[in-house]
Chains A and B, each alone.
Chain A
Amino acid sequence: WGFLAVRINICIELNVVNLLLLQATGLGVGIVFSVILFKRRTWPLWFGSGLGLGMGYNNCQHDFRSPYLVHGHIVKVSTERKV
């Protein structure tokens, strides 16, 4: 049954969320060295994880919303009027 697969995909998307979260956290870690070199602050972690969470949330939401999204097309109005 098709939708079941979709649901699983959606769950996987949640894992993606986590990956992003990790990426963000990694960002934070990466910056840690510089920061530690700077001053060893934790705010980049939260910033990064927040960033990552938000991105993951947005992605997941976008995936869930994808059926409902209306795609608009720009219609070029040609100078010549075609009947």
Chain B
Amino acid sequence: FLKICYVSARIYFFPNFPNENFAHLHHCRHYTAGEPSGAVKVLATSLLAVSGGVGGTVLYAKWDPKFRATVEKNVPYSDQLFSLALGPAAKDANLPIRKQVSALHCDLDYGITFIQLRKICFHTVSHSEASAEATHIISAIGEVPSIPATCDTEATAVSGELTDPNTDIEPLRERPVEEVTARLAQQDQEELDTLASLSTSLDDSLANSAKATLQAIGAQEAALQAIAQHTLRLREAMEAEVSSQEKSAQWKELEEALTHRLSAVDDAGSALQKANESLDSLKAIIERSKGLKVPAARPLILAAEENLHNMAVDLDKAVTQVQTAESEAKIVSQYSELVNEAKQQFQREVTSLTPDIQANWKGLTGKLSADDLNALIAHAHRRIDQLNRELAEQRVREQIHIDAALDQQKLEDQRALEKAVNTSLQHVREEARLEQERKLAELREVMEAEMRTQLRRQAAAHTDHVQDVLKVQEQELKAEAEQVLSSKMLEQETRYRQLGQEQVDNFTLDMNAAYARLKGMEEAIDSHVVAEEEARRAHQLWLSVEALTYSLKSADVDTPTVPLESSAKAVRENCHDDFAVALMSALPEESLQRGVYSEAALRARFNSLRSLARRVALVDESHNSLYQYFLSYVQAALLFERKQEVPPTQLSSDDLDPFKLLSYASYCLEHGDLELAAKLVNQLRGEARRVVEDWLTEARLTLETRQVVGLLSAYANAVGLGTTQAP
């Protein structure tokens, strides 16, 4: 973080330098080419600093995820950079937790609650020893009542709890309830399956090994018995003094017994091997099942182990018995061998002395001669002496032999002792372990039972709480339903009232409408009457206006029209609104009193006026001497202009020449445009103006009157059109 500050400080300061450099370059031209390289140097150093800062940030983020998170939060696109450089950060801590969770879950099933699961998640750091588990369970149970078990889904509680600020680990991804239950169910199923398979395999192997062991033990016992029998027989054969047939029978029996013993021993050996094999297989299965860590199989495993142990012990016992028997038998056989050897030797001696004598010499008392007897006795005496000597020697060597034998025996005893001690130690150890495991299983059961009681208690508390909450909810829902019902009732009532009101309103509306229509009809009739009246009046107006127009036409060539007073009066009587009245008042008095001249009269007059006006064209206010009169007279005589000329749409200054104006005006008059002619004549100035003044006033009068009359007639026409109704 400091590094960033430092780098940023450098960056802040560094941009100043290039700017200054460039400013210097701009201002002071006499700087040599050393300045640009200085700028390049500065640029390179700044670039290096920036890259160093970025690299340092990335490295630190790799080491410290908190820093990484802060940088990602604050700097917009840094998360992309980090994911590019370091890989995603958020997922790493989840997997080990989940593995441990699954391990723990495998250890503790019986429908673990989510709370417990979460608690175990929190304590995943410690390894799953039995005591630690027990403490976890107890702690979880202890903490259970303090958690507010709301009616809301436990999943949300789980999610809330799971996203506790365990800042070392990234927050766990919440698994939905269904997934967890499914997983649990699946795990249970798996466990059951493995358990079943395990139990079957265990049972099978147990059975096999038991059978084999029993067989082995049986075989061993048989061997033991055979050996015992054999030794007995041997001893009997050795010691008993019976007849030869019996002896031979005995020897046969002995041989049989020997063979029997050998076979038994072989059988025992093979059975032992088989038993060992089966025991080994059983052990292997037990090991494997232990490796699976299915807790329900534990008692099975325990039982199997015990059985195994017992069988091993029995087997060992039997084997030791057989071994002891064998050793005894060996001794006896050695003894028998020695005896046989002595016998044979004696026989040989006897035969060497008396070749005739048969093996079974006891029955030959009558056959032997005196010499033979003497020789025999001498031999016997000699033998006796020898034997006495040997005996003395033996007695002397006895002690040594005995010591040696004792030592040997001691050694052997020691060895046997050690072996026995080892085996017994092993057995004891095995037993202790089994005991321990048994105790463990018991303890576990006790714990399970306790946990179950606690869970039951919790379940009871939960049900109580749920009942309470349900009651509360019931109340709330009832209140809500009542509210809804009341609102609906209100709504219905209002609607009913509304409908009633609507009906009343409609009725009144209809009544009003009918009344209005009636009124409308009456008004229509009245207006019809009024309209007819209006129409009549308009008709009259029109007639009077027509009369007025006609009277306008009554002008002769030189005399004006009749005075318009009478017709104007008639019109005035007939006009009933302000417009017509105003128009009537706009009629000039002269026309009323004297009448107006017609256009033709004006035209005729104009022609005579024209020549006069031409003659006085040059005379105006400033130029009005007789000389001017003379000049204008001469001008009029000399100047020729067109009689009629088309007046332009816009008069220019040289159109204001009187001659031109007069020609324009005469053209207009010839074409009936009195108004334009009057306008043009109005442009005359000076004496010519005075000459045409009267004409102008007359023309004005005529125009005014005509305008008014035209307006009136138009008005009358309009009114008439307005009032007449189309058929």
Contact = CB atoms under 8 A, between A and B. Distances in A.
A68 interface: yes
A61 B626 contact: yes
B624 A7 contact: no
B559 interface: no
A64 interface: yes
Interface residues of B, number: 13
Interface in B519-569: none
Contacts of B629: 64
Contact of B694 (A1, A61, A67): A1
B624 A65 contact: yes
B691 interface: yes
B690 A2 contact: no
A64 B605 contact: no
A60 B628 CA distance: 13
A3 interface: yes
Contacts of A61: 624-626
A60 B629 CA distance: 11
A57 B625 CA distance: 9
Contact of A2 (B621, B625, B626, B694): B694
Given A1-B694, A2-B694, A68-B621, A7 B626 contact: no
A64 B624 contact: yes
Task: Determine the main DSSP class of B at the interface with A.
Answer: helix
Contacts of A68: 621, 624
A3 B694 contact: yes
A46 to B, nearest CB: 21
A23 B619 CA distance: 30
Interface in B567-614: 605, 612
Q: Name which of A60, A64, A67 has the most chain B CB atoms within 10 A of its CB.
A: A64
Contacts of A7: 612
A67 B690 contact: yes
Nearest to A17: B626
Contacts of B690: 3, 67
Interface in B614-654: 619, 621, 624-626, 629
A65 B627 CA distance: 12
Interface in A1-21: 1-3, 7
Contacts of A60: 626
Contacts of B691: 3
A1 B694 CA distance: 8
B192 to A, nearest CB: 132
A32 to B, nearest CB: 30
Contacts of B612: 3, 7
Contacts of B619: 64
Nearest to B690: A67
A6 to B, nearest CB: 9
Contacts of B695: 1
B626 to A, nearest CB: 5
Given A7-B612, A67-B690, A68-B621, A1 B626 contact: no
B626 A64 contact: yes
B363 to A, nearest CB: 211
A57 B626 contact: yes
Interface in A30-64: 57, 60-61, 64
A59 B676 CA distance: 39
A49 B605 CA distance: 40
Given A7-B612, A57-B626, A60-B626, A1 B621 contact: no
Contacts of B605: 1
Contacts of B625: 61, 65
Interface string A62-81: 00110110000000000000
Nearest to B625: A61
A65 B621 CA distance: 8
A64 B693 CA distance: 16
Nearest to A67: B690
A59 B612 CA distance: 22
A67 B694 CA distance: 15
A14 B695 CA distance: 26
A57 B627 CA distance: 10
A32 B44 CA distance: 137
A3 B629 CA distance: 16
A64 B625 CA distance: 8
Nearest to A10: B629
A67 B621 CA distance: 9
B432 to A, nearest CB: 148
Contacts of B624: 61, 64-65, 68
B694 to A, nearest CB: 6
Q: Which of A2, A7, A60, A68 lies at the interface centre, i.e. has the most chain B CB atoms within 10 A of its CB? A: A68
A65 B626 CA distance: 9
The 4 closest A-B pairs by CB, nearest first: A68-B621, A61-B626, A65-B624, A2-B694
Given A3-B690, A65-B624, 9 more contacts: A1-B605, A2-B694, A3-B693, A3-B694, A61-B624, A61-B625, A64-B619, A65-B625, A67-B690
10 contacts: A1-B605, A1-B694, A1-B695, A3-B691, A7-B612, A57-B626, A61-B625, A61-B626, A64-B619, A64-B624
Interface of A: 1-3, 7, 57, 60-61, 64-65, 67-68
Interface of B: 605, 612, 619, 621, 624-626, 629, 690-691, 693-695
